[in-house]
Amino acid sequence: MPLALLALAVGAFGIGTTEFVMMGLLPDVAADLHVSIPAAGHLVSAYALGVVIGAPLLAAVTARMSRRTVLAGLMGLFVVGNALSALAPGYETLLAARFLSGLPHGAFFGVGAVVATNMVAPERKARSVSLMFLGLTVANIAGVPAATSMGQHLGWRATFLGVSAIGVAAIVSLALLIPRDHGRTPAAGLRGELAALRSVPVWLALGTTVAGFGALFAAYSYITPMLTDSAGYADSSVTLLLALFGVGATAGNLLGGRLADHAMRGTLFGGLVSLAAVLSLFPLLMRTPVTAALAVVLLGTAAFVTGSPLQLMVMEKASSAPSLASSANQAAFNLANAGGAWIGGLALAAGFGVTSPAVAGAGLAVLGLGVAGTAYAVDRSRAVPAGRERRVAGHVPHQPEPQHS
């Protein structure tokens, strides 16, 4: 694998750290800015909103630019957003800075996935995407705990200055390691990129992402009360257990990349089936501390096995202009985050029990399987007529097609 993938992973590490660290810093930020915890929670939503809006918008605006330049520019915007977060004088300014920090997130992963797959042989595309995403999963193991600890000891502003430094390191890495060959202007341009979004298979792939990762976030958004109220863990143990989730996510990401290079759709179907099974077992697994820890690892593994094949499937469905579709898939991940958390919350509010969000997530995973199956059926229906047409052209070039066919 080319060393240039390391530059993409460094950027992904910084993005993953700043995305998730706010959850651990909410009490500190709320106390310092004299706002309530729910109000501070809007800082998480502001970032997610930036991702959803920025992913397709920035990918479209930069469609004719060098991809290496685009990646460096996106990380520059990332650095500015986090630096402004560190220097924000009040709540409203921090809210705007968090929105700005989220804008480059989706476009970076979308364009980065295109660059990564262009640097390797076709049979290694999924692995290249998984290595870029490795920075995101490792951020959950090391980056977020370290950044949270920094914020608790040095103040939350120091955390965002540290993340800005990671962004600067990513810019230097991109400039040094991404070859110029892979920064050439895409031939499709903005019109071609937009045309790719009119494809039904592309939208089915995006729908699979929303449902599949919505299943994860339906459960993960409420993992803390499951661990404390059902499995009996102390609040102080939750951070370590979330790191175990990161370990599972890293393993699943690497496994999914390797398997998807051999059978992309099979890996996707297998991952969604595994995710549905794990979430269905949560009410049983959350009864003891040992099985609950196992459930957290399995959840990360099963969910992130699907990450690389989902990203690759969207890119293949928009093969002539993949940058915008790939970035839109990142927006779909964040819609899954918000939608999954909302559906899990409905199950909890309805009084079905502390583990009911996981069962609701299992239903979303089954829905994802249904959308993925529909996408497969559409692909088959389009491939059969094309194959029949080629056979007719090859074997009976001067005769009309028989009526019974």
In DSSP notation, 95-138 reads HHHHHHHHHHHHHHHHHHHHHHHHTS-GGGHHHHHHHHHHHHHH
| Number of residues that make up the chain | 405
Q: pLDDT grade, residue 337 (50/70/90)?
A: confident
| Residue 180: per-residue pLDDT | 72
Residue from 311, 331, 324, 226 nearest 271 by CA: 311
| Residue 185: per-residue pLDDT | 44
| Residue 401: per-residue pLDDT | 47
In DSSP notation, 303-349 reads HHHTHHHHHHHHHHHTTTSHHHHHHHHHHHHHHHHHHHHHHHHHHHH
- For the four alpha carbons of 396, 400, 403 and 405, in that order, the dihedral sign comes to positive
**What are the tens digits of pLDDT across the range 282-336?**
999 999 999 999 999 999 999 999 988 888 888 888 776 677 778 888 888 888 8
Q: Domain boundaries in the chain?
A: 1-184, 187-382
Share of the chain above pLDDT 90, in %: 35
Q: Could you tell me if 72 and 175 are in contact, meaning their C-beta atoms sit under 8 angstroms apart?
A: yes
**What are the tens digits of pLDDT across the range 122-136?**
888 888 888 888 888
Q: Could you tell me if 215 and 279 are in contact, meaning their C-beta atoms sit under 8 angstroms apart?
A: yes
> CA angle 231-291-22, nearest 5°?
60
SS (H, E, C) 268-287: HHHHHHHHHHHHHCHHHHCC
Average pLDDT for residues 223-245, to the nearest whole number?
84
| Residue 396: per-residue pLDDT | 47
- Residue 185 per-residue DSSP state: P
Considering only residues 402 and 364, tell me which one the structure prediction assigns the higher pLDDT: 364
Mean pLDDT of the chain: 84
Percent helix / strand / coil, the chain, rounded to 5? 85, 0, 15
One fold for 1-184 and 187-382: yes
Q: Indicate the burial class of 5 (C-beta count within 10 angstroms; 0-12, 13-18, 19 or more).
A: buried
Q: Could you tell me if 237 and 292 are in contact, meaning their C-beta atoms sit under 8 angstroms apart?
A: no
Share of the chain above pLDDT 70, in %: 89
| Residue 261: per-residue pLDDT | 87
Question: Which CATH architecture does the domain made up of 187-382 adopt?
Answer: Up-down Bundle (1.20)
The whole-angstrom distance between residue 35's C-alpha and the CA centroid of its chain comes to: 30
> What's the CA gap between 128 and 114, in Å, rounded?
10
Average pLDDT for residues 196-220, to the nearest whole number?
87
| Residue 92: per-residue pLDDT | 93
Q: Which CATH superfamily is domain 1-184 in?
A: MFS general substrate transporter like domains (1.20.1250.20)
